[in-house]
Structure 1
Amino acid sequence: MSQFEQLLEKYAELAVKSGVNIVPGQTLQINAPIGAAEFVRKVVKYAYEAGAKNVNIDWNDDVITRTKYELAPDEVFGEFPAWRVTAMEELAENGGAVLSVISPNPELLKGIDPKRIATFNKTANSA
C-alpha cells in the first residue's frame, strides 16, 4: 500500500470516527464528487465497521453540472425537488449524519449567466 493510500485510509477513518462520529444504527449520507470515489469507498467501509445501519451516497459530477447550467431551461433553476427536502428532513429526524466531500473547481461555472447560479442557490437554500 502506497503512502498516499495509507493517508487516505487514515483520513477516511478520521472522517467517520471523529468527523461525523457514526454510532451503531445510524444512517450516513455522503455527498461527493465522482472524483472522490476511492476516498468515499473507504469512508463507506469505516462507516459500516463503526455500526452504520445504512450509507447513502449522492454523487455529483462537474461535467454534468456545467452541462445543466449551459443547456437546461431557465425554469429548472427555480425548482428544487421536494423528495430531496423530504429525504434530508427524514435523515435529520432519525438522527442521521451527513458527510460532504468538497473538491471545488473555481473555473467550473466561468461564463455561466450569474442569474442562473443565483436563482438555483436561492431556491436550494429556501427549500
Structure 2
Amino acid sequence: MVSTSLYRGAMSDVVIYHNPACGTSRNTLALLREKGIEPKVVEYLKEGWTKDQLKDLLKRMDASAHDILRVRGTNAEELGLTDPAASEDALIAAMIIEPILVNRPIVTTSKGAALCRPAELVLGLL
C-alpha cells in the first residue's frame, strides 16, 4: 500500500479544473483529498479558458475538443458543435466564450491529464 505522504510529495503539481455544482467534479476532488493530495482548484466557470490553455490540455490528454465537449445542459447542439465536421478551432473558440461547454473535471498531474468521468479515472494520474 502506498502511503498518502508519498502522493503528497510527488503530487504537488496537481490541478483540478472544477465545477463545484457538479457531483462528479466534487467526487474527484474528494478522492484526491482522500489520497492526501490538496490540488490547485481552478473554478473554470469563473476564471474561463484561454486558447493556449485548452490546446495544451488537449495535447496532454491526447484528445480533441470534441472529446471534452459538454453537451448535456449546454447549447452545444444549437451552436452546431456536436456536428462531427465542426472544427477544433470552432469548438475551442466556443469553449472560450462559454466555459460551460468544457466537460469536467479535468485533472492534470506530472503524469498527464484526463477528463475524470467517472471520478476513479483520476487514480491513473497518481
TM-score of the superposed pair, with normalisation by structure 2: 0.32
State which structure, 1 or 2, has the greater radius of gyration over its C-alpha atoms. 1
| Structure with more helix by fraction | 1
TM-score of the superposed pair, with normalisation by structure 1: 0.31
